[in-house]
Amino acid sequence: MSSTPKPAAQVSEASEVAHAEVPSLHQFFAPGGVLAAAHPAYEFRRGQLQMAEAVEQALTEKRHLIVEAGTGTGKTLAYLLPVIRSGKRVIISTGTKNLQEQLYYKDVPFLEQSLGKLRVTYMKGRNNYLCRQKLYDLSSQPVLNGLEEVEQYRQIAEWEQSTETGDRAELSQLPEASALWPKIDARNEACIGQKCAQFDKCFITEMHRRAMESDIIIVNHHLFFADLAIRQQTEGVGGGGILPEFSAVVFDEAHELEDVAGSYFGVTVSNLRFNDLARDIEYTLRQKQALSAGIISANASLRERAQFFFALLPPGDSRFAFANRAEFLEENGDEYLSIMNALTRLSSELEGMQQKPEEVFNFIRRVNELQTQLSFLMESRDRNTVFWIERRGGSGMRRGGQQNVFLQATPIDVSQILKQTLFENVETAVLTSATLAVSGGFDYMRKRVGLEHARELVVPSHFDYSQQALLYVPPDLPDPRAEDFPRRAADKIRRVLECSQGRAFCLFTSYALMNDVYERLLGELEFPMLLQGSAPKNALLDEFRITPNAVLFGTSSFWQGVDVQGEQLSCVIIDRLPFAVPNDPVVAARISAINSDGGNAFFDYQVPAAVITLKQGFGRLIRSLQDRGVLVLLDNRIRTQRYGKVFLDSLPKYKRSTDLADVEFFFGLR
């Protein structure tokens, strides 16, 4: 496949010299070695060396590897050193931007203290970077709303003079939901590439230049799969991806691959895309003094047709299957044809411009892309695709309401796509996470992502879970689906928190139950209570870390990627076994497909997926050798149902109890 990852070009002589000077794995990780000399809190971890040896073997033999490395293994150094020693260009793809930045700003500089300068860079999605041209355009024709945007513009304009990366992460004071940033970021929709006056000074140009000169490129999964999807779409057309060619890839937090890949190999069209397109055309062409009456009329028609079409789509709550597309088209075929014709008309008006500003070619591409994707969403009969609708914002389904509507198409099974586009076209792929194995094996993960012929390794955690953690499952609570569960659960949580003196995460599988329990405990607890949604996630975590005896109530975003060490987090309470909602359109389609193929979706898909999620949630508690704490699961099905054994066999060897007295004893109350 010509456009998929290929081996990197021959490594330069300087890189080969540097490679020769890198210590062996044993010299680096063994007692008395390089790591021991460099790290003040060094402890030899046999599992870390074992993992590093497996990664080095995979890179040398050009084999794939899947490895679960328990928390505390030190897995980032265990894959970084073999990658450096390999002399190959390697992509490291992380689950979150936070982990990406930890690797680049903490782990790599630490290694450089012992190994010398390394050729490493990191790349993020384009919307993380400033577009200089957009910023300069705003200075000549400001379109700013209110004093807040004016002040933000002043700060960004000043920062632009000194920043080397243009990465908004450097703007610590810029609000997460800044309305100004989307007007000046470097997202692809308005980019004219080499025709731009700022191309040579462009932060995206510079990011790609650094990547081409680097041996290690740190990205996140979203950017990696955006790149892979582009490579797949442009195969045979001479197009290329976002990333330079590479020999190997390491996926850290690899348990997220199926869902992230599914979103990038799917298609999404929303009313927002139509509105944004019409707005961008009018704004840009007015600025260029090229806005004709024909384009104004075509734009207005597209806005009107889009508003009408999206208002006609079936009503529903949040995410739901669009199973009746054929019937919808039968009843609303004229409206569908109208929006397609409006796109054709706008494309013709843009094509017919005599002297086109460069931006117009981008607008034509966006119009054609919308037409192709909307056609696929409404007319495709692809059997491996689930078609669904998501509504965000607003409270009602009324026509003309403030809801944004997203038409979605998602692959039901990404395993063949990943097998063909990724695993068959890259020398080595290493998949690692603290949570990949189910009952000690990788059958579930390998099948879901299409990974064949891979070596496997489970590295036990460095922690002594039997001494550091207690798993408490109250025996007297009803089934989580029972009507009185919220009341009984709130009472049990209150009693556990009194034992732990707060210092806890209460993690829920639904917003409704989180809010219900929070309201029940408000005024009942003497500890500070923090609720997800009341402030940005990072602000809540910072407040939790500095507030003695705090209790944080959260849902899915707090189940992973959150690290609070020490006594401040001494208890993690989980409401129920985290099975995915079975009527979610993507989950339902996967269940149906597995059952139709003769499998057992509950045991082949639903249970293993829930096992990995539970391991992630419980993994928030023990983050260092000094941590101690109690894990609480308010779901008796782990004890009473046959599938409960799969969960218990997959968890670390915590000490277990069904007696609240053991919780009291653990916290020194008896």
Q: How many CB atoms lie within 10 A of CB 234?
A: 14
pLDDT one-digit tens code per residue, 207-260: 999 999 999 999 999 999 999 988 887 663 334 578 999 999 999 999 999 999
Q: Which of 545, 541, 543, 571 is nearest to 558 (CA)?
A: 541
Helix (H, G, I), strand (E, B) or coil at 92: strand
- Is residue 402 packed enough to be buried (19+ CB in 10 Å), middle (13-18) or exposed (0-12)? exposed
Q: What is the 3-state secondary structure (H, E, C) of 519-584?
A: HHHCCCCCCCEEECCCCCHHHHHHHHHHCCCCEEEECHHHCCCCCCCCCCCCEEEECCCCCCCCCC
The CA dihedral of 26, 27, 29, 31, to the nearest 10 degrees, is 100
**Residue 483: burial class (beta carbons within 10 Å; 0-12, 13-18, 19+):** exposed
Hey, which residues does 428 pair with through a beta bridge? 248
With vertex at residue 291, the alpha carbon angle to CA 289 and CA 293, rounded to the nearest 5 degrees, is 140
Tokens for 157, please give them.
Answer: 């304009």
Structure tokens at 342: 């409006």
Q: Is residue 399 predicted with pLDDT exceeding 80?
A: no
Cα-Cα-Cα-Cα dihedral sign, residues 376, 378, 379, 382: positive
Residues near 337 by beta carbon (within 8 Å), at least 6 away in sequence: none
Mean pLDDT of the 56-85 span: 95
pLDDT band (50, 70, 90) for residue 17: very low
Residue 454 forms beta bridges with which residues?
64
pLDDT of res. 238:
36
Residue ranges of alpha helices (H) inside 44-87 are: 46-61, 75-86
* In contact, 240 and 3? CB cutoff 8 Å: yes
| Cross-sheet strand order for the sheet of 64-69 | 120-122, 216-220, 90-94, 248-252, 428-433, 64-69, 454-459
CA dihedral (421, 87, 251, 122) positive or negative = negative
How many C-beta atoms surround the C-beta of residue 99 within 10 A?
20
pTM as predicted: 0.90
**Cα–Cα distance, 493 to 404 (Å, whole number):** 37
**Tell me, what amino acid is at 25?**
L
Q: What is the pLDDT of residues 356-370, one digit of tens each?
A: 888 899 999 999 999
pLDDT digits 0-9 by tens, 282-333: 988 988 889 999 999 999 999 999 999 999 999 988 899 998 999 999 999 9
Task: Say how far residue 306 (Cα) sits from the centre of its chain.
Answer: 30
At the second CATH level, the architecture of 465-666 is 3-Layer(aba) Sandwich (3.40)
Average pLDDT, stretch 119-123?
95
pLDDT score, position 139 = 77
What's the pLDDT tens digit per position in 450-481?
999 899 999 988 899 999 999 999 999 999 99
> Which pLDDT score, from 0 to 100, does residue 234 have?
66
pLDDT tier, 141 (very low <50, low <70, confident <90, very high otherwise): low
Tokens of 324: 């009746």
**What is the CATH architecture of 13-119+214-264+415-459?**
3-Layer(aba) Sandwich (3.40)
Q: Tell me: the pLDDT tens digits for 403-425?
A: 899 999 999 999 999 999 999 99
